[in-house]
Amino acid sequence: MSLDANEAELIRTFVRQLTTKYDRRYWLECTSQGKALDELWRELGRAGYLGVTVPEQYGGSGLSMSRLTILVEELANHGLPTFFIVISTAMGSVAIAKHGTEEQKRRYLTTMADGSEKFCFAITEPDAGSNSFRVRTLARRDGDNYVINGQKVFISGVDQADHMLLVARTTPADQVKDKREGMSLFIVDTKAAGLTMHRMDTRVVMPEGQFEVFFEDVRIPRGNLVGEEGKGLKAIFDALNPERISASAMATGVGRYALGKAVEYAKIRTVFNTPIGAHQGLAHPMAVAKTRLELASLMAHKAAEIFDEGGDAGMYANMAKYAAAEAAIDAVDIAMQVHGGSGFTGETDIITLWPIARLLRTAPVSREMILSYIAQHVLGLPRSY
């Protein structure tokens, strides 16, 4: 069932009011100081908006990707792309709500809903990027515990997170007949003994840094296994579609924010006695960018609706992710062109948006993997990998 228009507008209105207090300057200040968006996060939690993907019995408002998509998009519309909502609210709470034990749901969903705890997600490894089946981090059963050894890379915000959802093998890849077998999902305390992290030298301006994470005999109880041992692929994939949908919403919001700045500048910047926005060389690319953003937004909301109805949202989530990332890049690019040289200064705050928009073409799933998925699963073409 699609989200009621009045409820959708309530979410947007709340975010607009919130951004008068926590605006783009707040986002930039936190980022420059290496601080988390804690004040914004706490207000979202107090207002109940971090519980939009948490069932009501655990303190949320029901598992609704439609609500979350509006929330993420509206925050980004105002220059506040917040990756932790994608990681913790979209991925973490959905995976636990769908596959966690009753004890896990009571323990973690309630704190995720009120914002008092955050989750990060750890799947990527140096030799396992797009090919997640090649993960080598191993969780070995030892009595009532698992002992974890391995390495992860590009783990967003692990230094700010209380827990991580960790993808690890419980059976090495060379010991399974089907590469999809032997993968499991675990909840790991980010302060666990034997877990160390090192910030990676990435140059994307955002509050959530990227980290290498090392596991050296990290011991966790068997009760931290999410779902069935060796059958974790279903739980993992159930978290990936929400990630792609919410990342799409973020991308369209970033694009809208950049384009909005370009439009305002094009109205007042005058060259040869004419506002530059009157010239079709700039007006038409801005019009195309706006059209692409709105088309991508529609697909993201369609994907969220299909997910909420219990349907297979894979096609829609992947198409939305592809369309939104491309549209965001186009929007930021034309915004830089409209601003000319000033688009490369910190004062106009355009160049800071470029790495985020460009990142969203590559992550959380690359453009090429999405197109391969569409070719195989939608068009029925032979598998390429």
Task: Write out the two tokens for 240.
Answer: 């990936």
Residue 329 makes CB contacts below 8 A (sequence gap 6+) with: 255, 357, 358, 361
Amino acid symbol at 1: M
- Number of Cβ within a 10 Å radius of residue 114: 18
Task: Please state, in angstroms and rounded to a whole number, the distance separating the CA atoms of residues 118 and 85.
Answer: 9
Mapped onto helix, strand or coil, the DSSP state of residue 216 is: strand
Inter-residue contact 82 to 135 (CB < 8 Å): no
* Angle formed at CA 84 by CA 79 and CA 90, multiple of 5 degrees: 110
Catalytic residue among 73, 74, 208, 243: 243
Inter-residue contact 350 to 336 (CB < 8 Å): yes
- What's 78-138 look like in SS3? CCCCCHHHHHHHHHHHHHHHHHCCHHHHHHHHHHHHHCCCCEEEECCECCECCCHHHCCCE
Known catalytic membership, residue 243: yes
Q: Which residues are catalytic?
A: 243
